[in-house]
């Protein structure tokens, strides 16, 4: 039964049973990571009240960016500065391609290189990237922006439902920063959403590799049409 079809007291009862099960097996804490509120605002509110009633308190509240997919084209929702970079990149010959369910060695090495040069760590070890698609390869999309056949930016997107495409990870070469090659990747993802009738492009939370808020990332996502919603992590201690 979908959560939206449940009553609040039913969800609270389920969460209380889960608490008791964890306590019985010696657990000391339980963390619940929820989807961003933009996925389903009504369900988000229903679950929020149920978590509180069952003794789960907000441990972190993140700012999550998302783009609602509407009738306007991508170039109409982004800021003029990003529109100029988008146009300039195309004039310079940057081109975006997409592969579905494929993590080749070139993509793995490129992402690892991008994260290293920016001083970050990949969300998953490089040798595990190829294993991510698993049994649902059709849900994993790799967008690559190339200049003269060489990759300059890559974005990995995951389709997490009929209505949602999630930006999982991306990277770009700093020497191409002035062309903002990532903007073309998000344009391609936006157009993919429109073609597949996907309602939301989830850009993810705006934090650095230490888990702290990253204002520059927030600004970039806002500049490409991103709106803000909350993403809450709940925790209960026993």
Spell out the long-range contacts of 116-119 with Cβ–Cβ below 8 A and sequence spacing 24 or more.
117/173, 117/174, 118/171, 118/174, 119/209
Q: What tens digit of pLDDT does each residue of 12-35 get?
A: 999 999 999 999 999 999 999 999
C-alpha triplet 164, 166, 170: angle, nearest 5°: 160
Helices (H) and strands (E) in the chain, counts: 7, 8
Q: What tens digit of pLDDT does each residue of 78-117 get?
A: 999 999 999 999 999 999 999 998 778 888 889 989 988 8
Give me the DSSP letters along 160-173. -SSSEEEEEEEEE-
Distance CA 53, CA 63 (A): 24
Nearest to 185 by CA among 199, 202, 167: 167
Q: What tens digit of pLDDT does each residue of 32-78 get?
A: 999 999 999 999 999 999 999 999 999 999 999 999 999 899 999 99
200-218: average pLDDT: 90
Residue 204 vs residue 132, higher pLDDT: 204
Q: What is the pTM of this model?
A: 0.92
Q: Which two tokens stand for residue 144?
A: 């690559």
- Listed by start position, the domains of the chain span 3-62+233-237, 70-198
Provide the CATH number for the domain formed by 70-198 in this structure.
3.40.630.30
Report how far apart, in Å, the C-alpha atoms of 68 and of each of 120, 144, 191, 197 are. 29, 23, 12, 11
Which residue do the tokens 């007291």 mark?
A: 9
């Amino acid at each position: 039964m979908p959560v939206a079809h449940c009553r609040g007291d039913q969800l609270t009862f389920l969460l209380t049973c889960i608490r008791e099960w964890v306590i019985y097996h010696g657990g000391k804490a339980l963390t619940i990571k929820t989807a961003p509120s933009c996925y389903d605002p009504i369900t988000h509110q229903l679950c929020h009240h149920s978590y509180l009633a069952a003794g789960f308190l907000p441990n972190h509240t993140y700012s999550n960016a998302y783009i609602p997919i509407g009738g306007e084209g991508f170039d109409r929702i982004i800021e003029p500065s990003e529109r100029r970079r988008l146009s300039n990149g195309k004039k310079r010959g940057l081109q975006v391609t997409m592969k579905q369910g494929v993590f080749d060695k070139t993509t793995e090495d490129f992402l690892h290189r991008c994260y290293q040069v920016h001083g970050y760590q990949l969300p998953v070890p490089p040798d595990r990237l190829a294993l991510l698609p698993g049994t649902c390869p059709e849900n994993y999309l790799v967008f690559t922006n190339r200049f003269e056949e060489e990759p300059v930016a890559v974005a990995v997107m995951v389709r997490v439902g009929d209505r949602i495409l999630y930006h999982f990870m991306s990277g770009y070469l700093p020497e191409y920063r002035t062309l903002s090659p990532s903007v073309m990747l998000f344009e391609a993802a936006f157009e993919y959403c429109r073609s597949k009738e996907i309602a939301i492009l989830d850009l993810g939370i705006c934090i650095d590799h230490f888990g702290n808020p990253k204002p520059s990332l927030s600004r970039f996502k806002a500049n490409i049409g991103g709106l803000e919603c909350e993403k809450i992590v709940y925790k209960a201690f026993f």
